[in-house]
């Protein structure tokens, strides 16, 4: 076999990591994109290995009963909601199985029965933050190409757009008409910004040539109704900035925070750049019920702040952490990778002391501000690389934890951090993960002293292959 060969009439069996499907051919596993479990497909091979094959479905001969009609016109081109064609209940089943498979196969762990996954009440319009990219040469769909009078290379039509990157193509952006991820006024704000820019001949950025003015538009919404806009441009030209921002401000009174960033770099990251608040406050405010249902917590979200992008499910996630912790009010708690202190502040009223560790200094300042905003006085936050920060000396100075809550990024915890947890030996560890594979790797190390007592998957991102997982560990 070679790349480009076809396998015909292959039955797709199940889902795999990264949203791929699994089939088998002549004893080898075949990872397939562009299909659903239960489909019968013809596959064009894209990778040949001795132990497995990879390919894409080029023809679906029989559709699976698990399929449903995608709701977005951009489905198949956008990488955002790649599971739209699979019913939500079926999505949850595969996510639950993904957690079990990772913990058992990678971690080699003896597991209690997994709790049923907590699904998201909202499957559309659940995100509170989206980033859109301006492009001077938008990606043209096949239909648009066919309508052109002369053939053109895809994406070279010279038409502007404001939308998302094509998966795995840094310099290709397609124009978004309607996105179902974020509630209004998100779509309306994006479309108006695009319209104002075109009408005033404001140059869109060319990602290949690195020329142009308009780079990105970030929209953050809060459950309080407040909305933030962040416009990123390459240089300071107030006439153009004013045109767009004043146009948005006049049309959307719910814009309580309007900001812009001057970014002359070759990438769009802005954590090292100044945020200029053009109008309103430099933050918006989210509300979250307290775990016991008495009153609400408030969190200020700045342009650089991290906050769980599914606000409603964030409560379910943190409530799971709180339930696993079974706090009595006497515990010394460490919250690793605390971010803006959301989990630390969520559990603080029920602990003696909560110490948050975070490597992003700006996030630590947000965490302190959020504690003050809610009148919380028993939290402390420290900034630094956690593998260096969490040491025997730190434990001596700040006390040994009875409970550790850890919520690391997708890469999981550094092995030094995992080993330090074994040395600190808290009675309980609550491990929150957005990547069950790296969580399983870390749990394998922690299993030297700890047993997995409870596993609770949580779906934060419907119509994607991502799944959050919370594990309670208790010292043997």
The residues that are catalytic are 434
Q: Where are the alpha helices (DSSP H) in 137-251?
A: 142-147, 186-199, 238-251
* Longest CA span, the chain: 74
Runs of H (alpha helix) within 335-384: 342-347, 361-373
Residues contacting 129, CB < 8 A, separation 6+: 182, 218, 219, 220, 221, 307, 309
Cα 175 to Cα 141: distance, rounded to the nearest angstrom: 10
Distance (Å, rounded) from C-alpha 361 to C-alpha 26? 53
Cα–Cα distance for residue pair 295/202, rounded to 1 Å: 47
Phi, psi angles (nearest 5°) of residue 257: -145, 110
Which single residue is written with the structure tokens 């900035």?
A: 241
Would residue 156 be called left, alpha or beta, if left means φ above 0 and alpha means ψ between -120 and 50 degrees?
A: alpha
Note the residue count of the chain. 476
Pairwise CA distance, residues 451 & 163, whole Å: 46
Instruction: Give residue 71's Cα distance to chain centre.
Output: 21
Distance CA(42)–CA(20), nearest Å, equals 15
Q: Is 83 exposed, middle or buried (0-12, 13-18, 19+ CB in 10 A)?
A: buried
């Amino acid at each position: 076999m070679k790349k480009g060969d076809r396998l015909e009439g292959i039955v797709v069996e199940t889902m795999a990591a990264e949203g791929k499907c699994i089939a088998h051919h002549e004893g080898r596993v075949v990872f397939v994109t562009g299909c659903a479990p239960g489909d019968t497909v013809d596959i064009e091979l894209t990778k040949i290995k001795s132990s497995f094959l990879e390919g894409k479905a080029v023809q679906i001969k029989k559709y699976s009963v698990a399929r449903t009609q995608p709701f977005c016109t951009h489905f198949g081109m956008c990488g955002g909601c790649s599971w739209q064609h699979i019913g939500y209940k079926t999505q949850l089943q595969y996510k639950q199985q993904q957690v079990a498979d990772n913990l058992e196969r990678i971690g080699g762990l003896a597991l209690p029965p997994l709790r049923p996954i907590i699904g998201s009440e909202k499957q559309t319009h659940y995100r509170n933050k989206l980033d859109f990219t301006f492009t001077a040469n938008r990606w043209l769909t096949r239909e648009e190409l066919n309508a052109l009078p002369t053939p053109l290379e895809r994406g070279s039509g010279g038409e502007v757009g404001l939308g998302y990157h094509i998966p795995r193509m840094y310099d290709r952006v397609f124009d978004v008409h309607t996105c179902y991820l974020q509630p209004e006024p998100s779509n309306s704000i994006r479309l108006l910004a695009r319209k104002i820019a075109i009408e005033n001949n404001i140059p869109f950025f060319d990602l290949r040539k690195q020329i142009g003015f308009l780079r990105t538009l970030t929209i953050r919404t809060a459950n309080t109704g407040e909305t933030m806009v962040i416009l990123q441009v390459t240089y300071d030209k107030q006439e153009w900035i004013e045109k767009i921002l004043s146009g948005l401000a006049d049309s959307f009174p719910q814009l309580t925070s309007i900001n812009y960033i001057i970014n002359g770099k070759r990438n769009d990251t802005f954590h090292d750049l100044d945020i200029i608040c053009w109008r309103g406050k430099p933050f918006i405010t989210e509300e979250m019920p307290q775990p016991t249902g008495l009153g609400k917590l408030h969190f200020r979200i700045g342009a650089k702040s991290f906050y769980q992008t599914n606000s409603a499910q964030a409560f379910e996630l943190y409530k799971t952490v709180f339930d696993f912790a079974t706090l009595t009010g006497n515990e010394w708690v460490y919250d690793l990778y605390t971010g803006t202190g959301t989990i630390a502040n969520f559990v603080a009223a029920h602990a003696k002391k909560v110490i948050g560790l975070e490597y992003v200094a700006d996030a630590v300042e947000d965490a302190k501000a959020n504690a003050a905003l809610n009148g919380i006085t028993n939290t402390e936050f420290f900034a630094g690389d956690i593998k260096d920060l969490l040491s025997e000396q730190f434990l001596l100075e700040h006390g040994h934890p009875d409970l550790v809550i850890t919520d690391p990024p997708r890469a999981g915890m550094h092995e030094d951090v995992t080993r330090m947890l074994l040395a600190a030996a808290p009675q309980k560890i609550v491990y929150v993960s957005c990547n069950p594979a790296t969580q399983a790797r870390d749990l394998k190390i922690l299993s030297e002293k700890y047993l997995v007592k409870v596993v609770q998957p949580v779906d934060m991102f419907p119509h994607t292959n991502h799944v959050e997982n919370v594990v309670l560990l208790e010292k043997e």
